[in-house]
Each structure stands twice: as C-alpha cells, then as structure tokens.
Chains A and B, each alone.
Chain A
Amino acid sequence: AQKITQTQPGMFVQEKEAVTLDCTYDTSDPSYGLFWYKQPSSGEMIFLIYQGSYDQQNATEGRYSLNFQKARKSANLVISASQLGDSAMYFCAMREENRDDKIIFGKGTRLHILP
C-alpha cells in the first residue's frame, strides 16, 4: 500500500490565485512528520514546510501553509497568491519516527502557473 498519495498529477492555476495540492498518508506510527518539497525544472529539491503529528496548529511559512487534518490523514499544501515562479513539481513526504528517520515521497504534482 502506498504511504503517500498525491492524486493530482498536474494542475493549471491562474497567477495570483490560491492553489491547494492534495496529500493523504498512511501510517500506524503515532509520531511522524509531514513535509512538502518543491522541485523546479533545474532539479534541486527545496524544502518548503514541515508539520509534526503532535503539532496543535497548522504550519505556515510565508505564502505556504499546510492544512493538517489528522483524523483524515490529510496534509494538503496551500499556496496563496501564486506566482509564475511557483511552477514546479511538488512532493509530499512523510517520516515515521519508528522507521529509522527515513522520508518517503509521494509521486508528486506538477503545478503550472498561467500568466
């Protein structure tokens, strides 16, 4: 079974609009962390945001926020006021504390921002 599911292979969004990228996860570990990474066409993986399973509040980093719904095992990334430079692949990932600190990635969502 997949640990991380990203159901949107690709999305097109108009510049300046908000966009939500979906992510669901599967774990029986009570302690885990959720990450979002951005990968532009140049290939580097850029860390965006982190949410711990015990964090009471949703994580925010500038224009990025993570909509964490623990009971639904959902960790959607919200990008507000999208910009042309946001066009990239976005990966949701999870680290289970009882599994040697490994991070497992989803298959990604390709986001296209339209001018």
Chain B
Amino acid sequence: EAGVAQSPRYKIIEKRQSVAFWCNPISGHATLYWYQQILGQGPKLLIQFQNNGVVDDSQLPKDRFSAERLKGVDSTLKIQPAKLEDSAVYLCASSIYGGSYGYTFGSGTRLTVV
C-alpha cells in the first residue's frame, strides 16, 4: 500500500509570511494527525482528525495555525503569520482508529523560518 504522502519536503520562509503543508493519508485510514517536532525533541501533537471532524486541537496555536481535512481524506496545515519558533519538522500520520500498530508517518516537512 502507498504510504502517507506529504509535501513540500522542505520550506524556507521569512517570519510573518504564510505557509501551507499538505498531507494525503493511507487510503481507508480514518484518523489523521499533525505533529510538530522541534529539533532535539519528541513530536508534539497539534491536531487530530477523525474523518473530517476535529477530535483534539488543544495544542494548536489557533491564533496562527489552522488545519482542515476536507471530505475526510487530504489535510492541509497552515501557519499565518509564521514566527521564528515555528521552525520545526511537521509530521503527518494516519491510523485505523484503535489499531495496535500505531501510526504510519509521512516523511515530514522541514520548515525553516528566517
């Protein structure tokens, strides 16, 4: 089966600019997650979707971050305006709800804000 697809792979922007990341999960996976991984740290959950509904966005900085999952498939994560501290790898993952094999992760998008 095809894996979780993410794009772009790398992105460099200036602070106060906007940026968007795209994720296409594994077909049939109802649950989709966006994680932020700052260099040297473990991934931190930003938002979790079940189909096209939000299950948890408690750690999403909603003043600048937004995410959507139209039609319960692809998802987009946006940052507007970006800050220097947003520099991180943004990982998308998908899973069958309750599966014992955890998530399947995409390759991530490495964002650098200068």
Contact = CB atoms under 8 A, between A and B. Distances in A.
B89 interface: yes
Interface in B27-79: 31, 33, 41-45, 48, 55-56
Contacts of A52: 100
A104 B41 contact: no
A43 B89 contact: yes
Interface residues of A, number: 24
A43 B107 contact: yes
B19 to A, nearest CB: 18
A91 B98 contact: no
Interface residues of B, number: 26
Contacts of A102: 33, 45, 48, 56
A50 B100 contact: yes
A75 to B, nearest CB: 13
Contacts of A33: 100, 102
B107 A104 contact: no
Nearest to A55: B100
Nearest to B107: A44
Contacts of B42: 4, 91, 93, 105-108
A12 interface: no
A35 interface: yes
Nearest to B99: A101
A101 B98 contact: yes
A106 B104 CA distance: 18
Interface of A: 4, 33, 35, 37, 42-45, 47, 50, 52, 91, 93, 95, 97, 100-108
5 contacts: A4-B42, A47-B101, A50-B101, A100-B56, A105-B43
Q: 6 tightest A-B contacts by CB? A: A105-B42, A45-B105, A35-B102, A107-B42, A105-B43, A100-B55
